[in-house]
Amino acid sequence: MKVAAVAFYAFALGLLGVGVLELLTGFEENRCSMTYMFEYPEYRRVALPRRLARLYPAYGLYLYGEGLYAQETRALKLTGAPVLFLPGNAGSYKQARSLGSVALRKAESREGGLHFNVFTVDFNEELVALYGGSLLRQTHFLHESIKAILRLYKHLKTPPQSVVLVGHSMGGVVARALFTLPRFNTSLVNLIITQASPHLAPVLALDPYLLDFYSTVRQKWVNQANKLRNITVLSVGGGYRDYQVRSGLIALPCPSADHNKLSLVATAVPRTWVSTDHLSIVWCKELVLATVRAFFDLIDPETRQFTENPEKKMAVLNHHFIRHPVRMPGETQDTSISSLDFPEAWSEVNTLRLAYSTPKEGQAKYFLFALSSRRKAYSHFYCRSDNLEMTSWVYGCVHKNGSSCVHAVDLSMGTELLPPYKVLILSLSNLSSVTHLVVSASNLNGRQFTVECEWQRQKSQTASVPVPHVLSFGLTASDVTVNSSGLLHTIELQHFHQVYQAFRITVGSQCKVHKDRLPSVYRISVPWFREDSLTTVSVPSVTEISGMLHTSRPDNNSGVLLQLHTAPNCQYKVSIRISFPRMLGQILRFCGPIVPVYTAVTLLLAWGGQLSSILKSRRAVDMSQVVSKGLQPHKVNLPVYILHILLSYSGFQEVWSILCLPPMDNLPSTLPDGTFHSVVPAKEWPHLLSPLLYILGAAVAYWGSTLLCFIIRLFSLILAPLHRPFVFRDCGTLRLQTQVFLTLCLTVMSAVSCAALSLLAAFLLHLYRVLRIRMTERSLSHMLNLAPQTHKEAENGRMDAKPLDQSKECNGTPLLSECALQEVRDDLQFHLCLSSLFTLPVMLSAPSLIHWIRNLRYSTRLDPDPCWPHIVPLIIVYMLLINCNTLKLSNSKLLHLTSCLPLPLAITMVTFSPLHLYRVTYFLLAALIPLALCCLL
């Protein structure tokens, strides 16, 4: 039985390892270009009023500069447009150097003297993603910093009235939190750009302050959306390389009618098309360039400051981050090409497809496509060119004279930029006033490029294929073959709409004739969220694409589309298989924070099994045995499922509300609209994954407890020569006066410093007790092995006697006996189970302890302290349980009641803790208090 348990948990640990490995490494290599400083960067501190310096001693405001610009701004006489960078969790204010340096280089290369003053805030690299007590303080300091920045421009005739905020990670959340301050003037900020910021929910909810902060920000932006409609917010996610903040969390929770809020993934940004990790999104040159280009286009030429026009801001952001057409926003449209009507430059195309490569010599060339004969047979006109110059190149001819067009309208604004070429798709139904299409293939500068155009029937070039079921485990595949008679084919991937689905999409291309062709582009297009990904390959080739999602599909939306920008006269075979490792990686990406909850559930049920064993046989079972039996999904998940079903009825919801119970914690939201708490769960998501998450959590509990036993054994061997243990079961216990003194000291220490420090000290005291028991067990076992066999028989009775059957209690037996050894081993197994439980609150409180240690030079007290509400009962419980043993428990009248608590507490933990990890400590405390009473009564 033990071998089977070890094999099962080894397999479960292997699954967890595969998922973690895929999560951390299962993505493309970093294709971001590094940004470099051409001169040594300088950060000039901006002096703040003394009141603010005393109130926020750990924070600071700096102006970025380098070279001559840094010298010119020494006196802080600034004339540029202010931009303020906000670092995120454990982020440095020096991360602003990429944005500042690129903005400075771009300003030097432009005429007119337009430039930016890039400021940055030092938040002391606080761990605000794990400890939420500093978020409100950071928000207030940010408010004061903005006012201090604007005061630097008072000498100008037209000083700036607002500051543009660029926030990385939690810095983006703090930027949006500004609008929750009661005295904040919303006109101070009208544009926010966030990078990898978890707007929907925190990655880990380790304290209530973090969730309260998120709730306040969310309510402000959702409930007062009309008042904040003119505030433009752009949220950019890193993609699959960012395993710290999944890109589904970057979606802005706002009404769908608010068009001033944009959320997208970096892989979908034109001229970027790369996935970034959580740190490289700050310095990724492709993304920084898109941001800086947008900043220059947002400048109002009259005021030389950022525009306050919401329409212009959205037009610029759409141009640089959504679609990159050939004409900049606000540029006038060229409606005439009559000056180009010399006959030799014009050619009328009567074939269905055009493939033209420009000669080396520069020449003017225009192709005419008649619409009259194509309207009924075809639905779209497709054209692409690897000439990436942002100039108009496709026109609609309104008035034709002979072989040339006299008057035309520019149709190029629908152009979309792909990595190897620009593409334009025109719907013929929208061209009723146009008689001909004109494609410009002029290369007056002598640069060679290729133009390919064709008429298309969209229905005939669109196919649908159902994706394999997630339980196929890659054994079956969905195949579709495309005989490329055209340049664009679309494959709809039916039933691909959940984030836990992950596929290996293999696209193989074969061509009959080998010749130079434009590269093929494979694009996974997600209609409900801007998370498209593009892959560029040569032809012929075999390419594997990862088919995964950042967000699940809302209702009434089409499925994922695979667009193939193909080479003509080639065959493309698409094969779709489930990728089990990537599916595990997706599960951990979205549900990894829930695994610790199931780890706590397993240890809680293991502790309950240990109490049941003591109650029935007055003996403790080996810890690995009880932990292996802590996997009981039928007893834990089934009641939770029933509660979910009952909560779908209004009557039960009313009863739930009357009892003042909090909402049930579902699995994390995966919808782009940001639904966070929902009474009714998704149909498949929790039912499929909860048992698997339970298995992974149980594996962590099993091997974690095994590791704890190994560490205890190792330390006992190391300390044994230095400290000889006493040979009785009460070794390491504390006197009553000592317990009271230590409890008072730890309580005072938690009040004047950090509660997590007192909790750690209490845990170490209990660990010392376990070490003493382990050394006693080892010493007693060694002495019994050295004792003569006749002596041991005399001590224990007849040779065939069974100590466990002869005597249920070992009171009065000699210390050097098998029965005494069994008592010590019982106590050891009991306290090992307790140590496993005690480890959980210590680990959950570790972020606040780290935060306190990092800020010791500014304050000796952690304020606010998330552990303070429960630290006193925890310390009392830890102190009481140090002296507890199996004999006291077996004689307690409360043991039967206490042994019944773990299961309902485990069910309650799964119901209310997946999105509130800090509640795990409360439920463990509810189980430990009755146990401490058992040692007294």
Catalytic residues: 169
Return the H-helix or E-strand segment holding 928: helix 919-936
**611 — phi, psi (to 5°)?**
-65, -40
Q: Give DSSP secondary structure letters for 802-853.
A: -HHHH-S--TTS-SSSHHHHHHHHHHHHHHHHHHHHHHHHHHHTHHHHHHHH
Q: With H, G, I as helix, E, B as strand and everything else as coil, classify residue 579.
A: coil
Helices (H), 73-169: 97-108, 135-151
Total residue count of the chain as it appears in this document: 937
Q: Give DSSP secondary structure letters for 421-466.
A: -EEEEEEGGG-TT-SEEEEE---TT----EEEEEEE-TTTTEEEEE
Sign of CA dihedral 372, 376, 380, 383: negative
On the 0-12 / 13-18 / 19+ scale of CB atoms within 10 A, 361 is: exposed
The one-character DSSP state at 320 is: I
Residues contacting 54, CB < 8 A, separation 6+: none
Any idea what the Cα angle at residue 125 is, between residues 120 and 131, rounded to 5°?
Answer: 125
On the 0-12 / 13-18 / 19+ scale of CB atoms within 10 A, 772 is: buried
Q: How many other CB atoms are found less than 10 A from the CB of residue 473?
A: 13
Please tell me the distance from the alpha carbon of residue 637 to that of residue 627, in angstroms, as a whole number: 18
Closest of 574, 545, 572 to residue 479, by C-alpha = 574
Place of tokens 């809302």: 554
Please tell me the distance from the alpha carbon of residue 699 to that of residue 8, in angstroms, as a whole number: 9
Please tell me the distance from the alpha carbon of residue 774 to that of residue 781, in angstroms, as a whole number: 11
Closest of 665, 508, 652 to residue 574, by C-alpha = 508
Q: With H, G, I as helix, E, B as strand and everything else as coil, classify residue 44.
A: strand
Q: How far does the chain reach from its first CA to its final CA, in angstroms?
A: 36
Sign of CA dihedral 469, 474, 476, 482: positive
Please tell me the distance from the alpha carbon of residue 681 to that of residue 687, in angstroms, as a whole number: 9
Sign of CA dihedral 703, 705, 710, 714: positive
